Amino acid sequence: MQTNHDEYGPERILEVYDPKTKMHGVLVVHNTARGPGKGGIRLVPDITTEEVMGLAQAMTWKNALADIPFGGAKAGIKADPKTCNKIAVMRAFASKVSQLVPSVYIAGPDMNTTEKEMAAFADEIGDLKASTGKPSVIGGLPHELGSTGFGVALSTKVALEHAKISISGATVALEGFGNVGTFAMKHLEEMGAKVVAISDSKGTAYVAGGMDYNKAMETKSSKGTITAYPGAKVLPAADLFTTQADILIPGARPNVITAQNVSSIKAKVVIEAANIPMTHDMERQLAKRGVLVIPDFVANAGGVISSYCEHIGATPSQMFTIVKDKVTANTSLVLSHTKDLNTRDAALKIAKERVREAMDVRGW
Ligand code: NAD
């Protein structure tokens, strides 16, 4: 028996193998008290059951806190994304887990799986409700609508109101200018904030007077990097985190705020748009210094809420309304339950209570 079982789960761990494609996969359904387990399928060469268990548990809390009727699950396929036939492997995985889909498990994209693999998964199961993140021609709500970045901007707005900082003119340093970063900037600019620094893999572009969203998008598409932004001072990518700005948004890679830079962070509010941009210990260190941190599973929930909208057949405009209502309400709720700036503990407590309540009414 694994040691990381607790009163919530995991309910099922299914390891599957298909000799024809040599597909080796694992599906972990952590908890289904609030609804079918929902979580993406990650395709990487070094996935382990332990890792998938941790990710499935995190999805239970994320979906519960997002207040959508899904439990938590995650799947992993052990394969090299560069050499394997992803569609064949995905179909083989779908066929091996088909009995659980969509009543116990609903798939979604994750590392190295896209809308094409989600379409193949649903097609193999024979039910479009088998997965989310499908192409729009078959009822998907694409990533390109920018639900996560929109949610990040809304969560930032609520955090600033709580910290009594006016969003109008508040300065922002933004790590990453991909799907999440670009949409976060678009909506923050509309709310009146001023993005003064943006980083990508090539470095950080800094403009003290603030950058313009349209100009930033034009720079990214024509020059391939934000560091070519006209008139920007170009700094190393790592300098983004210690930039003088009211708000810091880590929005690209994991573990970027570390023991080495945590004490140099100048922002008063940190919004975790990326997953796990720092350890809980780093979050506590920032809280001790009076910095308000909005944890990843609160701030970047726009994506899972959009998945739920796709599942119920919502239109893009209905999806934006639902994301707005839920992210705003959930961020406010977390902040109203936060003691000593310990936002993660407050958020986890709310999520666990929601799951416990569903388990109780089911008599589990
Ligand atoms: P993306 O691939 O679209 O963009 C990633 C960006 O990070 C790119 O602009 C890239 O240039 C930049 N980057 C790469 N290396 C960098 C470096 N060293 N320094 C600074 N920037 C660097 O990815 P995304 O979809 O925007 O996701 C970003 C993060 O948000 C990830 O942690 C992801 O797990 C998380 N997330 C995304 C969603 C979503 O819906 N897209 C939902 C929840 C969480």
Q: What is the pLDDT of residues 325-343, one digit of tens each?
A: 999 999 999 999 999 999 9
Burial 232-264 (b: 16+ CB within 10 A, else e): beebebebbbbbebbbbbbbbeeebbeeeebee
Does 93 share its domain with 189? no
Q: Please give the pLDDT value at position 266.
A: 98
Cβ atoms of residues 12 and 100 within 8 Å = yes
Does 172 share its domain with 298? yes
Q: What percent of the chain has pLDDT over 90?
A: 98
Does 250 share its domain with 229? yes
> Does 7 reside within a domain?
no
C-alpha to C-alpha distances, 185 to 174, 195, 213, 265, nearest whole angstrom:
8, 7, 7, 20
Q: Among 185, 225, 240, 253, which residue has the most ligand 1 atoms within 8 Å of its CB, making it the best to mutate?
A: 253
Q: Please give the pLDDT value at position 18.
A: 97
Q: Please give the pLDDT value at position 1.
A: 47
> Which residue owns the Cα nearest ligand 1 atom 1?
178
Residue 142 pLDDT grade (very low, low, confident, very high; cuts 50, 70, 90): confident
Pull the structure tokens for residue 21. Answer: 């494609």
Find the CATH number of the domain harbouring 267: 3.40.50.720
Q: Please give the pLDDT value at position 175.
A: 98
> Does 186 reside within a domain?
yes
- Is the confidence at residue 152, as pLDDT, over 50? yes
Does 230 share its domain with 253? yes
Does 275 share its domain with 183? yes
The residue to which tokens 């083989």 are assigned: 92
Does 156 share its domain with 279? yes
Pairing assessment for the beta strands 23-31 and 71-78 based on DSSP bridges: antiparallel
Number of neighbours of residue 158 by Cβ within 10 angstroms: 22
Phi and psi at 310, nearest 5°, equal -60, -40
| 246 DSSP assignment | S
Does 154 share its domain with 285? yes
78 is an active site residue: no
Does 84 share its domain with 180? no
> Does 308 reside within a domain?
no
Ligand 1 center–CA 36 separation, angstroms: 27
Kindly report, residue by residue over 242-297, the tens digit of the pLDDT.
Answer: 999 999 999 999 999 999 999 999 999 999 999 999 999 999 999 999 999 999 99
C-alpha–C-alpha distance, residues 269 and 262, integer Å: 13
Ligand 1 center–CA 17 separation, angstroms: 31
Find the CATH number of the domain harbouring 90: 3.40.50.10860
C-alpha to C-alpha distances, 80 to 83, 109, 237, nearest whole angstrom:
6, 16, 29
Which of 140, 159, 176 marks a domain boundary? 140
Pairing assessment for the beta strands 71-78 and 194-200 based on DSSP bridges: unpaired
Range 315-333 average pLDDT: 98
Residue of 20, 22, 62, 74 marked active site: 74
Q: What is the chain's mean pLDDT, rounded?
A: 96
Ligand 1 center–CA 69 separation, angstroms: 27
Residues spanned by the domain of 227: 147-302+331-348
Ligand 1 center–CA 173 separation, angstroms: 15
C-alpha–C-alpha distance, residues 349 and 191, integer Å: 30
Does 186 share its domain with 335? yes
Q: Please give the pLDDT value at position 63.
A: 98
Range 146-155 average pLDDT: 98
Kindly report, residue by residue over 1-58, the tens digit of the pLDDT.
Answer: 455 788 999 999 999 999 999 999 999 999 999 999 999 999 999 999 999 999 999 9
Kindly report, residue by residue over 175-206, the tens digit of the pLDDT.
Answer: 999 999 999 999 999 999 999 999 999 999 99
Range 65-73 average pLDDT: 98
C-alpha–C-alpha distance, residues 149 and 273, integer Å: 8
Atom of ligand 1 lying closest to residue 303 CA: 40
Q: Nearest to residue 146, comparing CAs of 294, 324, 3? A: 324
Q: Tally the domains of the chain.
A: 2
Burial 75-84 (b: 16+ CB within 10 A, else e): bbbbbeeeeb
Kindly report, residue by residue over 300-309, the tens digit of the pLDDT.
Answer: 999 999 999 9
Q: Please give the pLDDT value at position 3.
A: 56
Does 133 share its domain with 277? no
